[in-house]
Amino acid sequence: MLSWFYHHNSLNTKEKLHRLGISENDTCIICENGIENNEHLFFQCEYSSAILDIISSWAPVHLPSRDLLTWRLNMQGSSLRQDVINAIINATMYHVWRQRNVSKFDLKLLTPKAVAHEIVEEIKSRMRGMKFIKAGDGDPRWLESLIDRK
């Protein structure tokens, strides 16, 4: 049921507007090399891929390259680690979407390195405030290693 919902809601607004004839094109605003749908914007666009590569080199987590919903449903590890990984994914998607809008409306774009730095600092700040109620063996050391990592 969830995969049906995800599939039928995976078109973003720009792609929908293009299909309705309201928008003149459906090309990715950032890279101009693909159809701007959710899969392209968050996983295939060279800009978001560069951000994901930087984030993945900071966090010892293999982030998905597609089908985020299935990946999240099958995620392994303690609840705390899952919370951190979900926060990383959510922050990354938020920042990529924000840069997409800044690119469209303000005609400027931060470098992938600058965006990744914002994401890492945001996640480190969140981790510093986490309670260890849901922590498993090794989780406090894992969090500390991420916070200390550059």
pLDDT of 46 above 60: yes
pLDDT tens readout for residues 99-147 = 998 988 888 999 999 999 999 999 998 888 776 556 667 777 888 888 8
Confidence category of residue 4, pLDDT binned at 50, 70, 90: very low
What's the residue count for the chain?
150
User: What does the mean pLDDT of the chain come to?
Assistant: 78
Is the separation of the CB atoms in 14 and 45 below 8 Å?
A: no
The per-residue pLDDT for 41 is 86
Question: What are the domain boundaries of the chain?
Answer: 37-148
- Structure tokens, 130: 């986490």
pLDDT of 52 above 50: yes
The per-residue pLDDT for 10 is 46
Is the separation of the CB atoms in 84 and 127 below 8 Å?
A: yes
The per-residue pLDDT for 65 is 64
Query: Structure pTM?
Result: 0.76
The per-residue pLDDT for 75 is 77
Instruction: Determine how many CB atoms are found less than 10 A away from the CB of residue 85.
Output: 20
Average pLDDT of the residues in 17-43: 76
Q: Using the CB atoms, write b or e for 125-140: b if 16+ within 10 Å.
A: eebeebeeeebeeebe
- Structure tokens, 72: 């999240």
The per-residue pLDDT for 136 is 67
Confidence category of residue 66, pLDDT binned at 50, 70, 90: low
